[in-house]
Amino acid sequence: MEKELYSFVFKGLLTEAALDRTERVKPQISDLDPIVAERLSLDLLDEAFVLRAKRMATVYTVITAFENTVREFLSKILLEASGESWWDTTVSEKIRNKAFSRREEESKVRWHTPRGDALINYTDFGDLTSIIQQNWPLFEAHLHSIEWVRHMINTLERSRNVIMHSGELQNEDIERIGSSIRDWIRQVG
């Protein structure tokens, strides 16, 4: 058994050496912002974890940009329809209270950057579906159906939550995210 293990490990080392001689392309983490990477002590972390996290960072970037796109779309429609007081007149008390409580709690930690000025930034991604549903006549001309909206946001929120908790998505999940976002953009315009 020991001889087989030795042989296996030795063959692996020979393969690594042969691949290195062919100047194989190794994954790089160097395209991260070097100043931020240094401030965060990135060089002290396991490179394999960093590379996997970097891959998910691309997905995070897309989902975050999409989530903020939906927030902006929602805010724009409600502002145009209801004016400056849209938050108070079109969003349920439950969502308003939750967002207000989060902002108040974060304001107690003055040394940390807040999420933003607008209360919409303190809502959950899933709350956006509720806000759209509560104001469906204003969104109906732009969106296919409330069931479609719920499905889109729930699908993306599931993947978002995996990434937010340091998980990794499979290629199928990543493709689903891309497809969902493309469908949303085509529908909303």
Domain span at residue 162 reads: 51-188
What average pLDDT does the chain have? 87
Residue 69 lies in a domain: yes
Residue 33 lies in a domain: no
Residue 81 lies in a domain: yes
Residue 137 lies in a domain: yes
| Rounded distance between C-alpha atoms, residue 56 and residue 164, angstroms | 10
Residue 41 lies in a domain: no
pLDDT band of 189, cuts 50, 70, 90 = confident
Residue 155 and residue 180 in contact, taking contact as beta carbons nearer than 8 Å: yes
pLDDT at 75 over 90: yes
Per residue in 99-143, pLDDT (tens digit) is 999 999 999 999 998 888 899 999 999 999 999 999 999 999 999
At 144 the pLDDT is 85
Residue 30 lies in a domain: no
The helix-helix angle for 47-82 and 146-164 (nearest 10°) equals 150
pLDDT at 53 over 80: yes
Residue 34 lies in a domain: no
Q: Which amino acid is at 43?
A: D
pLDDT at 23 over 70: no
Residue 182 lies in a domain: yes
What count of other Cβ atoms lies within 10 Å of the Cβ of residue 38? 11
Q: Output the six-digit token pair for 178.
A: 């891309």
pLDDT band of 37, cuts 50, 70, 90 = confident
* Strand, helix or coil for residue 126: helix
- The domain tally of the chain equals 1
At 117 the pLDDT is 87
Average pLDDT rounded to a whole number, residues 19-30:
53
Alpha helices in the chain (DSSP H): 2-21, 34-39, 47-82, 86-90, 93-107, 125-134, 136-139, 146-164, 171-188
Average pLDDT rounded to a whole number, residues 3-11:
58
Residue 152 and residue 180 in contact, taking contact as beta carbons nearer than 8 Å: yes
